Structure 1
Amino acid sequence: MNARWLRLTALLSIPMLWLVVLYLGSIAVLLVSAFWSLDGFTGRVVQVYTLGNLQQLFVDPLYGTVALRTIGVALAVTVIDAVIAIPIALFMSKVAQPVARTALVVAVTTPLWASYLVKAYAWRVLLAPNGPVAWMTGGHSPGYGLAATIITLSFLWLPYMIIPVFAGFDRVPDSLFEASFDLGAGAWRTLRSVVLPLVFPAVAAGSIFTFSLTLGDYIAVGIVGGKTQLMANVIYGQLVTANDQPMAAALSLIPLAAIILYLLAMRRTGALENV
């Protein structure tokens, strides 16, 4: 039995090993290529060690501005999604009847089946200067820019926040609510002092998705962002428009470092156990 189990484990580990090799290998190539340079005459990549690309990240103020803007947008999207997801997930898990709960779960997850581009372009139509939002608000519309980017990305990543938070609320025993009420605590005190500390790891787990997905998005920004540039757009421009692979690789280290630091911060909350 032990021999069969070992053979089965070894067989199942092959796809995982292949995935790890590809993932870590691609990151290793990214790190190495960030230290290469570009021949200004031929436009070819010169595989010679240099710190010029990394120095450019600190010398050019544009990259610092875009990096701070990108992290700010990622944090804003994460906070907005958390504020929206918490009451929805609480209602789904503790208030809604089983049939309504199933319908709400389907409603939350259905947008994930829709095309990413369709959803992004739908928000472009909604947020247009003369679009439906402007019509309903008497001509007040965010138009295309930073605000439109935050709104669109918050909508796109909201299901990734609701699902883990819903699972977190669902794991909280109903007896804790009853015990808190019996001890004289109101609904808000129970939610703030009893429930939210237990659900916070699930919120942090959802924030990992919203934060990382926002850092890497460049398509929605190009559709609704107007002149707004996030780090992924700058990387795309260096790789495709300027054909400067080493500089694109060096710029990619910024969101990579931001994600690693964010994961280390979330690790202390127990969020990684809820992903």
Structure 2
Amino acid sequence: MATSTPAADGRTGRTTDPALRAPVARPGSRLLHRLVWLRLGLLLSAPLAWMLLIYVVALAALLITSLWSVDSLSSEIDRTWTLDNFRTLVENQVYRDVTVRTIGVALAVTVIDVAIALPIAFYMAKVASPRLRRMLVVAVLTPLWASYLVKVFAWRVVLSEGGPAEWSGLGSPGYGLTAVVITQAYIWLPYVILPVFAALERVPDSLLEAAGDLGANSGMVLRSVVLPLLVPGILAGGIFAFSLTMGDYITVNIVGGANQMLGNLVFVNAGAANNLPLAAAIAMIPIVVMVVLLAAIRRTGALENL
């Protein structure tokens, strides 16, 4: 059976069949191929627009709301800008005490988590076998799969009167700030272990062996070689633990007894007290604290290695 072959131009040798010709690039495609920055901009435009909408715009709305006030007679929001809410936060002793308490709890949780995370991450990265390392990573990630409320209520049971903490003979601190620190240190611990573990994995074993060959003992190796390289990972984990504790309000409601933190005040003023402007002003406190903290860390140059 005869088959037809595509006709060819006798002068150039090129096929004249339109179906077999190479596709011609459109002007838009050529432009995108030429301008890499335009390609990248179009690729990132959607996520950047979404981030701008839900983060920057939300922060701007929060700041504007904090400048409003509530009419004491009608309970209606007065949209005239004023600094009365911030003046209340500065002059009222209750808000100052709650702010100091919140920062203190956040610092305690951060220090405890870093102290626990360092030996665990070091063992996972430098001592454990590859199989055991994988098992430990799964063990660290497993609590993240459980519900936040389930974990908090589990600690409420553990720390309750006559609960497992008392059965073990260790005794229970009861419900209060100590219970809040213990519970939040447990909840945020994986967020500290993982960055420190990642930082330790980047430390080459040959560097530790070279330090030992030069006469450094184990303590000197840890202080002079390992810890300086771990600063970015420690900072990343510490920022996670500190910021998440600053904004939390559920844990203190469940195991904190009668104590209050900034998150509780935001919740109460936005809900039962029906004072949204004051709640927005209180919510600005953790934001300002985190901005100051990040600015201080940035001045040390540690953020450049994150």
TM-score (norm 2): 0.86
Between 95-104 and 12-21, the greater mean CA deviation after superposition: 12-21
What is the CA–CA distance in structure 2 between the aligned matches of 1:217 and 1:240, rounded to whole Å?
16
Alignment deviations for residues 201-256 of structure 1 (CA, whole Å, 9 cap, x no partner): 11011111001000000001111111111111111111111010011111111111
Query: Shift of the alpha carbon at 1:2?
Result: 5.8
Query: Shift of the alpha carbon at 1:51?
Result: 1.6
Larger Rg: 2
TM alignment of 1:28-43, pairs within 5 A: 28-43=60-75
> Residue 211 of structure 2 corresponds to which residue in structure 1?
180
In structure 2, runs of 5+ residues without a counterpart are 1-29
Amino acid at match of 1:56: T
- Equivalent in 112, 115, 122 of residue 80 of structure 1: 112
Query: Shift of the alpha carbon at 1:269?
Result: 4.4
Contact 1:37 1:47 in 2 (8 A): yes
**Residue 211 in structure 1 maps to residue 242 in structure 2:** yes
**Residue 26 in structure 1 maps to residue 58 in structure 2:** yes
> Residue 232 of structure 1 corresponds to which residue in structure 2?
263
What is the CA–CA distance in structure 2 between the aligned matches of 1:273 and 1:192, rounded to whole Å?
19
Amino acid at match of 2:167: W
In structure 1, runs of 5+ residues without a counterpart are none
Contact 1:81 1:158 in 2 (8 A): yes
Query: Shift of the alpha carbon at 1:9?
Result: 3.8
Amino acid at match of 1:43: S
- Equivalent in 161, 165, 172 of residue 192 of structure 2: 161
Alignment deviations for residues 136-161 of structure 1 (CA, whole Å, 9 cap, x no partner): 126x2111000000000000000000
Amino acid at match of 2:296: A
Contact 1:266 1:272 in 2 (8 A): no
Higher RCO structure (Cα 8 Å, ≥6 apart): 1
* Identity within the alignment, %: 50
Alignment deviations for residues 20-71 of structure 1 (CA, whole Å, 9 cap, x no partner): 2321111111111111110112211110121211110111100000000100
- Equivalent in 151, 160, 174 of residue 182 of structure 2: 151
> Residue 131 of structure 1 corresponds to which residue in structure 2?
163
Q: Give the root-mean-square deviation of aligned CA atoms.
A: 1.4
| Count of residue pairs brought into register by the alignment | 273
**Residue 110 in structure 1 maps to residue 142 in structure 2:** yes
What is the CA–CA distance in structure 1 between the aligned matches of 2:305 and 2:53, rounded to whole Å?
23
- Equivalent in 240, 251, 259 of residue 282 of structure 2: 251
- Equivalent in 71, 84, 91 of residue 52 of structure 1: 84
Between 39-48 and 214-223, the greater mean CA deviation after superposition: 39-48
Between 265-274 and 60-69, the greater mean CA deviation after superposition: 265-274
**Residue 199 in structure 1 maps to residue 230 in structure 2:** yes
What is the CA–CA distance in structure 2 between the aligned matches of 1:192 and 1:8, rounded to whole Å?
42
TM-score (norm 1): 0.95
Change over 3 Å in CA distance of 1:269–1:93 after alignment to 2: farther
Contact 1:218 1:232 in 2 (8 A): yes
Higher helix share: 1
Contact 1:129 1:142 in 2 (8 A): no
